[in-house]
Amino acid sequence: MTDDVSLAPPAIETVGLTKRFGSHTAVDGIGLTVPRGSVFGFLGPNGSGKTTTIRMLLGLAGASAGEIRVLGEEMPRKVADVLPRVGALVEGPAFYPFLSGAANLARLDSANRHASSRTRQDRVALSLERVGLSHAARKRVKAYSLGMKQRLGLANALLTPRELLVLDEPTNGLDPQGTREVRNLIRSLASGGTTVFVSSHLLAEIDQICTHAAIMSNGALVAQGTLDELRRAGSPRVEVRTPDPGATRRVLAALGLEVDTGAPDAGPVDSEGTDARDALIAAHADPAVAPEEIVAALVGAGVRIRGFSVMSASLEERFVALTGEGFDVAE
Protein backbone atom coordinates (compact mmCIF):
# COMPACT_ATOMS: atom_id res chain seq x y z
CA MET A 1 0.00 0.00 0.00
CA THR A 2 1.25 3.51 -0.78
CA ASP A 3 2.72 5.13 2.34
CA ASP A 4 1.21 8.55 1.51
CA VAL A 5 -2.53 8.11 2.06
CA SER A 6 -3.24 11.16 -0.11
CA LEU A 7 -1.62 9.40 -3.10
CA ALA A 8 -3.27 6.02 -2.55
CA PRO A 9 -6.45 5.12 -4.44
CA PRO A 10 -9.69 5.43 -2.44
CA ALA A 11 -10.44 2.60 -0.04
CA ILE A 12 -13.78 2.16 -1.83
CA GLU A 13 -14.81 3.54 -5.21
CA THR A 14 -17.89 2.76 -7.28
CA VAL A 15 -19.05 4.03 -10.68
CA GLY A 16 -22.66 3.61 -11.77
CA LEU A 17 -23.20 0.80 -9.25
CA THR A 18 -26.66 -0.67 -9.75
CA LYS A 19 -28.60 -3.61 -8.31
CA ARG A 20 -31.98 -4.71 -9.64
CA PHE A 21 -34.31 -7.35 -8.27
CA GLY A 22 -36.69 -7.97 -11.16
CA SER A 23 -38.43 -4.66 -11.86
CA HIS A 24 -37.26 -3.14 -8.55
CA THR A 25 -34.05 -1.10 -8.54
CA ALA A 26 -32.55 -1.35 -5.03
CA VAL A 27 -29.36 0.59 -5.83
CA ASP A 28 -29.49 3.09 -8.67
CA GLY A 29 -26.22 4.02 -10.35
CA ILE A 30 -24.31 5.28 -7.33
CA GLY A 31 -20.81 6.75 -7.41
CA LEU A 32 -19.31 6.30 -3.96
CA THR A 33 -15.81 7.49 -2.95
CA VAL A 34 -14.40 6.53 0.46
CA PRO A 35 -11.00 8.18 1.12
CA ARG A 36 -8.21 6.14 2.67
CA GLY A 37 -7.84 6.68 6.40
CA SER A 38 -11.34 8.10 6.81
CA VAL A 39 -14.11 7.06 9.17
CA PHE A 40 -16.94 7.06 6.66
CA GLY A 41 -20.59 7.09 7.72
CA PHE A 42 -23.06 5.44 5.34
CA LEU A 43 -26.51 6.81 6.16
CA GLY A 44 -30.05 6.24 4.99
CA PRO A 45 -33.52 5.10 6.06
CA ASN A 46 -34.41 1.42 6.12
CA GLY A 47 -34.81 0.16 2.56
CA SER A 48 -32.60 2.87 1.08
CA GLY A 49 -30.10 0.35 -0.34
CA LYS A 50 -27.31 0.54 2.23
CA THR A 51 -26.97 -3.17 3.06
CA THR A 52 -27.39 -4.19 -0.59
CA THR A 53 -24.55 -1.81 -1.47
CA ILE A 54 -22.33 -3.26 1.26
CA ARG A 55 -23.01 -6.80 0.06
CA MET A 56 -21.94 -5.84 -3.46
CA LEU A 57 -18.79 -4.12 -2.16
CA LEU A 58 -17.76 -7.33 -0.39
CA GLY A 59 -18.60 -9.66 -3.26
CA LEU A 60 -21.56 -11.18 -1.39
CA ALA A 61 -24.00 -10.07 -4.10
CA GLY A 62 -23.49 -9.44 -7.79
CA ALA A 63 -24.08 -6.02 -9.30
CA SER A 64 -26.52 -5.58 -12.17
CA ALA A 65 -24.32 -2.83 -13.61
CA GLY A 66 -21.42 -0.56 -12.69
CA GLU A 67 -17.88 -0.87 -11.37
CA ILE A 68 -16.44 -1.50 -7.88
CA ARG A 69 -12.88 -1.05 -6.66
CA VAL A 70 -11.95 -1.90 -3.08
CA LEU A 71 -8.43 -1.05 -1.85
CA GLY A 72 -7.52 -0.28 -5.44
CA GLU A 73 -8.59 -3.70 -6.75
CA GLU A 74 -11.47 -4.57 -9.07
CA MET A 75 -14.32 -6.41 -7.37
CA PRO A 76 -15.52 -9.12 -7.47
CA ARG A 77 -12.73 -10.28 -9.83
CA LYS A 78 -10.04 -9.78 -7.15
CA VAL A 79 -12.19 -10.86 -4.20
CA ALA A 80 -9.70 -13.53 -3.06
CA ASP A 81 -6.94 -10.91 -2.83
CA VAL A 82 -9.07 -8.17 -1.28
CA LEU A 83 -11.09 -9.90 1.44
CA PRO A 84 -8.08 -10.92 3.61
CA ARG A 85 -7.36 -7.18 3.90
CA VAL A 86 -10.94 -6.38 4.92
CA GLY A 87 -12.73 -6.99 8.22
CA ALA A 88 -16.52 -6.99 8.08
CA LEU A 89 -19.58 -7.18 10.28
CA VAL A 90 -22.65 -7.37 8.04
CA GLU A 91 -26.30 -8.15 8.88
CA GLY A 92 -25.46 -9.31 12.38
CA PRO A 93 -22.98 -11.98 13.45
CA ALA A 94 -23.67 -15.73 13.04
CA PHE A 95 -21.89 -18.23 15.28
CA TYR A 96 -22.09 -21.83 16.45
CA PRO A 97 -24.33 -21.52 19.54
CA PHE A 98 -22.87 -24.51 21.43
CA LEU A 99 -19.27 -23.37 21.08
CA SER A 100 -17.65 -20.75 23.27
CA GLY A 101 -16.85 -17.30 22.00
CA ALA A 102 -13.14 -18.13 21.87
CA ALA A 103 -13.77 -21.43 20.07
CA ASN A 104 -15.94 -19.69 17.48
CA LEU A 105 -13.21 -17.15 16.77
CA ALA A 106 -10.58 -19.88 16.52
CA ARG A 107 -12.70 -21.76 13.94
CA LEU A 108 -13.24 -18.60 11.90
CA ASP A 109 -9.56 -17.72 12.09
CA SER A 110 -8.55 -21.20 10.92
CA ALA A 111 -10.50 -20.57 7.70
CA ASN A 112 -8.18 -17.66 6.89
CA ARG A 113 -5.31 -19.13 4.86
CA HIS A 114 -3.26 -16.00 5.55
CA ALA A 115 -3.48 -16.35 9.36
CA SER A 116 -0.72 -18.13 11.29
CA SER A 117 -1.90 -21.06 13.42
CA ARG A 118 1.02 -20.53 15.82
CA THR A 119 -0.30 -17.18 17.05
CA ARG A 120 -4.02 -18.01 16.81
CA GLN A 121 -4.71 -18.28 20.54
CA ASP A 122 -2.95 -15.00 21.24
CA ARG A 123 -4.89 -13.23 18.47
CA VAL A 124 -8.21 -14.59 19.72
CA ALA A 125 -7.47 -13.50 23.28
CA LEU A 126 -6.39 -10.01 22.18
CA SER A 127 -9.42 -9.59 19.94
CA LEU A 128 -11.79 -10.59 22.76
CA GLU A 129 -10.03 -8.17 25.09
CA ARG A 130 -10.39 -5.28 22.63
CA VAL A 131 -14.19 -5.67 22.57
CA GLY A 132 -14.56 -6.33 26.30
CA LEU A 133 -15.39 -10.03 26.12
CA SER A 134 -12.43 -11.61 27.91
CA HIS A 135 -14.69 -12.55 30.83
CA ALA A 136 -17.01 -14.48 28.48
CA ALA A 137 -14.36 -16.15 26.32
CA ARG A 138 -15.26 -19.67 27.54
CA LYS A 139 -19.02 -19.11 27.74
CA ARG A 140 -21.18 -20.77 25.08
CA VAL A 141 -22.49 -18.29 22.54
CA LYS A 142 -26.07 -19.47 23.06
CA ALA A 143 -25.84 -17.75 26.47
CA TYR A 144 -24.63 -14.46 24.95
CA SER A 145 -26.93 -11.44 24.82
CA LEU A 146 -27.52 -9.67 21.51
CA GLY A 147 -24.98 -7.03 22.50
CA MET A 148 -22.38 -9.68 23.37
CA LYS A 149 -22.91 -11.39 20.00
CA GLN A 150 -22.41 -8.03 18.31
CA ARG A 151 -19.15 -7.58 20.21
CA LEU A 152 -18.07 -11.07 19.17
CA GLY A 153 -18.76 -10.14 15.55
CA LEU A 154 -16.50 -7.13 15.97
CA ALA A 155 -13.84 -9.35 17.54
CA ASN A 156 -13.96 -11.60 14.49
CA ALA A 157 -13.45 -8.59 12.21
CA LEU A 158 -10.38 -7.62 14.26
CA LEU A 159 -8.63 -11.00 14.42
CA THR A 160 -5.93 -9.84 12.01
CA PRO A 161 -4.78 -6.31 11.03
CA ARG A 162 -7.09 -4.85 8.37
CA GLU A 163 -6.72 -2.00 5.90
CA LEU A 164 -10.50 -1.60 5.71
CA LEU A 165 -13.20 -2.34 8.27
CA VAL A 166 -16.84 -2.50 7.06
CA LEU A 167 -19.38 -2.34 9.89
CA ASP A 168 -23.13 -2.59 9.30
CA GLU A 169 -24.95 -1.20 12.38
CA PRO A 170 -22.03 -2.04 14.73
CA THR A 171 -23.75 -0.82 17.92
CA ASN A 172 -26.96 -2.78 17.38
CA GLY A 173 -28.06 -4.25 20.72
CA LEU A 174 -25.39 -2.47 22.75
CA ASP A 175 -26.13 -0.46 25.88
CA PRO A 176 -24.83 3.15 26.11
CA GLN A 177 -21.56 2.04 27.70
CA GLY A 178 -21.01 -0.56 24.98
CA THR A 179 -21.79 2.04 22.32
CA ARG A 180 -19.16 4.38 23.76
CA GLU A 181 -16.61 1.56 23.84
CA VAL A 182 -17.24 0.75 20.17
CA ARG A 183 -16.81 4.44 19.29
CA ASN A 184 -13.48 4.50 21.12
CA LEU A 185 -12.42 1.30 19.36
CA ILE A 186 -13.26 2.79 15.94
CA ARG A 187 -11.29 5.94 16.78
CA SER A 188 -8.26 3.88 17.81
CA LEU A 189 -8.43 1.82 14.61
CA ALA A 190 -8.67 4.94 12.47
CA SER A 191 -5.73 6.55 14.28
CA GLY A 192 -3.70 3.49 13.33
CA GLY A 193 -4.47 4.00 9.63
CA THR A 194 -7.44 1.65 9.14
CA THR A 195 -10.25 2.99 6.97
CA VAL A 196 -13.58 2.39 8.74
CA PHE A 197 -16.84 2.27 6.77
CA VAL A 198 -19.82 2.47 9.16
CA SER A 199 -23.45 1.98 8.16
CA SER A 200 -25.70 3.34 10.90
CA HIS A 201 -28.96 5.10 11.79
CA LEU A 202 -27.55 6.70 14.93
CA LEU A 203 -26.83 10.41 14.65
CA ALA A 204 -24.53 10.44 17.69
CA GLU A 205 -22.51 7.56 16.25
CA ILE A 206 -21.91 9.31 12.93
CA ASP A 207 -21.55 12.84 14.29
CA GLN A 208 -18.99 11.88 16.93
CA ILE A 209 -16.71 9.48 15.09
CA CYS A 210 -16.97 10.05 11.35
CA THR A 211 -14.88 12.34 9.16
CA HIS A 212 -16.93 11.77 6.01
CA ALA A 213 -20.42 10.55 5.18
CA ALA A 214 -22.76 9.64 2.35
CA ILE A 215 -26.56 9.70 2.42
CA MET A 216 -28.75 7.18 0.57
CA SER A 217 -32.43 7.64 -0.25
CA ASN A 218 -34.59 5.23 -2.29
CA GLY A 219 -31.54 3.53 -3.76
CA ALA A 220 -29.86 6.76 -4.84
CA LEU A 221 -26.81 8.49 -3.41
CA VAL A 222 -28.11 11.99 -2.62
CA ALA A 223 -25.04 13.51 -0.93
CA GLN A 224 -21.49 12.70 0.15
CA GLY A 225 -18.47 14.56 1.47
CA THR A 226 -16.89 15.58 4.75
CA LEU A 227 -19.28 16.21 7.63
CA ASP A 228 -18.51 19.93 7.44
CA GLU A 229 -19.31 19.98 3.72
CA LEU A 230 -22.63 18.24 4.31
CA ARG A 231 -23.58 20.70 7.06
CA ARG A 232 -22.58 23.74 5.00
CA ALA A 233 -24.77 22.55 2.13
CA GLY A 234 -27.83 22.81 4.37
CA SER A 235 -29.79 25.92 5.20
CA PRO A 236 -28.56 27.76 8.33
CA ARG A 237 -31.04 28.78 11.01
CA VAL A 238 -31.75 31.96 12.92
CA GLU A 239 -32.77 31.50 16.56
CA VAL A 240 -34.31 34.27 18.66
CA ARG A 241 -34.98 33.91 22.38
CA THR A 242 -37.71 36.35 23.37
CA PRO A 243 -40.82 36.79 25.53
CA ASP A 244 -42.58 38.16 22.40
CA PRO A 245 -42.92 35.11 20.11
CA GLY A 246 -45.91 36.35 18.13
CA ALA A 247 -44.28 39.65 17.16
CA THR A 248 -41.01 37.83 16.42
CA ARG A 249 -42.71 35.45 14.00
CA ARG A 250 -44.41 38.33 12.20
CA VAL A 251 -41.15 40.25 11.76
CA LEU A 252 -39.23 37.19 10.54
CA ALA A 253 -42.00 36.28 8.10
CA ALA A 254 -42.07 39.88 6.80
CA LEU A 255 -38.35 39.58 6.06
CA GLY A 256 -39.05 36.48 3.96
CA LEU A 257 -37.71 33.90 6.44
CA GLU A 258 -39.46 30.55 6.80
CA VAL A 259 -40.44 30.36 10.47
CA ASP A 260 -40.61 27.03 12.30
CA THR A 261 -43.92 26.40 14.04
CA GLY A 262 -44.56 24.87 17.44
CA ALA A 263 -43.77 27.44 20.14
CA PRO A 264 -46.69 29.26 21.82
CA ASP A 265 -47.33 32.90 20.87
CA ALA A 266 -47.42 34.01 24.50
CA GLY A 267 -46.14 32.78 27.83
CA PRO A 268 -47.63 33.24 31.30
CA VAL A 269 -47.90 36.83 32.50
CA ASP A 270 -46.23 37.91 35.75
CA SER A 271 -47.47 40.56 38.24
CA GLU A 272 -45.96 43.37 36.16
CA GLY A 273 -47.74 42.28 32.99
CA THR A 274 -44.65 40.95 31.15
CA ASP A 275 -43.98 37.43 29.96
CA ALA A 276 -42.23 35.28 32.54
CA ARG A 277 -41.25 32.60 30.03
CA ASP A 278 -39.05 33.09 26.97
CA ALA A 279 -39.81 31.36 23.70
CA LEU A 280 -37.15 30.13 21.29
CA ILE A 281 -38.23 31.06 17.75
CA ALA A 282 -36.32 29.47 14.86
CA ALA A 283 -36.38 30.28 11.16
CA HIS A 284 -34.44 29.22 8.09
CA ALA A 285 -31.94 31.95 7.31
CA ASP A 286 -31.91 33.75 3.97
CA PRO A 287 -28.38 34.63 2.74
CA ALA A 288 -29.84 37.83 1.25
CA VAL A 289 -30.86 39.05 4.72
CA ALA A 290 -27.92 39.95 6.97
CA PRO A 291 -28.16 39.03 10.69
CA GLU A 292 -27.83 42.69 11.72
CA GLU A 293 -30.78 43.52 9.46
CA ILE A 294 -32.88 40.93 11.27
CA VAL A 295 -31.91 42.27 14.68
CA ALA A 296 -32.65 45.86 13.60
CA ALA A 297 -36.08 44.86 12.31
CA LEU A 298 -36.90 43.05 15.55
CA VAL A 299 -35.80 45.97 17.73
CA GLY A 300 -37.67 48.38 15.49
CA ALA A 301 -40.84 46.38 16.04
CA GLY A 302 -40.38 46.54 19.80
CA VAL A 303 -39.42 42.89 20.20
CA ARG A 304 -37.48 42.19 23.41
CA ILE A 305 -34.48 40.09 22.42
CA ARG A 306 -32.96 37.90 25.15
CA GLY A 307 -30.76 35.96 22.74
CA PHE A 308 -29.94 35.84 19.02
CA SER A 309 -27.83 33.37 17.04
CA VAL A 310 -27.25 32.12 13.51
CA MET A 311 -26.51 28.39 13.43
CA SER A 312 -25.29 26.18 10.61
CA ALA A 313 -27.49 23.25 9.62
CA SER A 314 -27.03 20.10 11.69
CA LEU A 315 -26.34 16.71 10.17
CA GLU A 316 -29.82 15.62 11.27
CA GLU A 317 -31.45 18.54 9.46
CA ARG A 318 -29.47 17.76 6.32
CA PHE A 319 -30.52 14.11 6.50
CA VAL A 320 -34.21 15.03 6.89
CA ALA A 321 -34.01 17.56 4.04
CA LEU A 322 -32.51 14.97 1.68
CA THR A 323 -34.55 11.90 2.62
CA GLY A 324 -37.76 13.31 4.07
CA GLU A 325 -37.36 10.99 7.06
CA GLY A 326 -36.30 11.46 10.67
CA PHE A 327 -32.96 10.37 12.08
CA ASP A 328 -32.70 8.08 15.09
CA VAL A 329 -30.72 9.99 17.70
CA ALA A 330 -30.94 7.41 20.51
CA GLU A 331 -27.77 6.14 22.15
Q: Which pLDDT does position 44 carry in this prediction?
A: 86
Look at residue 2 in the predicted model and tell me its pLDDT: 45
Predicted pLDDT of residue 5: 56
Where are the extended beta strands (E) located within 44-201?
65-70, 73-75, 86-89, 164-168, 195-199
Domain ranges of the chain: 7-232, 237-311
Q: What pLDDT score was predicted for residue 264?
A: 47
The CATH code of domain 237-311 reads 3.30.70
Is 3.40.50.300 the CATH number for 7-232? yes
pLDDT one digit per residue (tens) for the chain, 331 residues: 445 555 678 999 999 999 999 999 999 999 999 999 999 999 888 888 999 999 999 999 999 999 999 999 999 999 999 999 999 988 766 899 999 999 999 999 998 888 889 999 999 999 999 898 999 999 999 999 888 898 899 999 999 989 999 998 888 778 888 888 888 888 888 888 899 999 987 776 788 889 999 999 899 999 999 988 887 766 678 899 999 999 999 999 999 888 876 544 444 444 444 445 788 888 877 777 888 999 999 999 999 999 998 876 667 767 776 776 654 444 4
Same fold, 7-232 and 237-311: no
- Give 128: exposed, middle or buried? Use CB within 10 Å, 0-12, 13-18, 19+: buried
Q: 3-class SS at 296? A: helix
Angle between helical axes of 101-110 and 120-130 (0-180°, round to 10): 130
